[in-house]
């Protein structure tokens, strides 16, 4: 980061390569797909890191600070998306499949897992279940499950108390269990 403060592009490139999967994964999960918009949002995160490098204090973990930047960027984008949808009154459409997200969610509720459950199907179900969670819960689940962060750290990133984070996690877990109950029993 010290080199990035000095405007070292090579250091920036290394930083991007080191953290791109982490940032892109979270952005894509939060935005409901790995489309061009998620890519642009993830790029925005790194550009924000470049611009705000001077404000970084090496007291905490860099990844926590980075996740905070991701959170701010994603929540801003999601807010803009919501406003746009409110104005247009449109049903959001999946960039990859062209399928309406609302239709897809409606379908997913009635889908029963077959015995020969393919990994792809399972992944889709998990992605959909995560996408249906409220944004704050989705973020906490991701940070806990895929980044392996402690709740204290998640609280710092999301700007919430430990109790609030745990409460959100509990609600998310209950929703995921309910949504994926068929898959849970199938995997046993």
- Footprint on this chain of another protein (rule: CB under 8 A): 9, 12-13, 16-17, 20-21, 23-26, 28-29, 34, 39, 42-43, 46-47, 50, 119, 122-123, 125-127, 130, 141-142, 144-146, 151, 166, 169-170, 173, 176-177, 180, 183-184, 187-188
CA 186 – CA 169 distance, rounded (Å): 24
Q: Which is nearer to another protein, 26 or 67 (CB)?
A: 26
DSSP string, 111-176: PPPPSS--HHHHHHHHHHHHHHS-HHHHHHHHHHHTS---HHHHHHHHT--HHHHHHHHHHHHHHH
Buried/exposed 30-63: b ≥16 CB within 10 Å, e otherwise: bbbbbeebbeebbbbbbeebeeebeebeeeeeeb
Smallest gap from Cβ 141 to another protein, in A, equals 7
Provide, rounded to whole angstroms, the least separation between the CB of residue 15 and another protein: 9
Task: Quote the least distance from Cβ 164 to another protein, whole Å.
Answer: 12
| CB of residue 87 to another protein, shortest distance in Å | 27
**Residue whose CB is less far from another protein, 102 or 184:** 184
């Amino acid at each position: 980061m010290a080199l990035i403060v000095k405007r070292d592009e090579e250091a920036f490139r290394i930083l991007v390569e080191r953290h791109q999967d982490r940032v892109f994964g979270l952005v894509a999960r939060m935005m409901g797909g790995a489309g061009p918009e998620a890519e642009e949002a993830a790029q925005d995160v790194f550009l924000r890191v470049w611009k705000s490098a001077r404000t970084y204090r090496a007291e905490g973990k860099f990844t926590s600070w980075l996740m905070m930047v991701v959170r701010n960027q994603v929540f801003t984008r999601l807010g803009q998306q919501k406003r746009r949808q409110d104005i247009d009154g449109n049903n959001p459409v999946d960039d990859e499949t062209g399928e309406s997200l609302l239709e897809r969610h409606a379908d997913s509720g009635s889908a029963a897992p077959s015995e020969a459950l393919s990994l792809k199907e399972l992944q889709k179900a998990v992605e959909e279940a995560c996408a249906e969670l409220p944004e704050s819960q989705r973020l906490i689940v991701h940070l806990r499950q895929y980044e392996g962060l402690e709740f204290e750290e998640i609280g710092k990133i999301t700007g919430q108390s430990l109790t609030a984070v745990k409460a959100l996690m509990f609600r998310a877990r209950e929703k995921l269990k309910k949504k994926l109950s068929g898959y849970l029993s199938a995997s046993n």
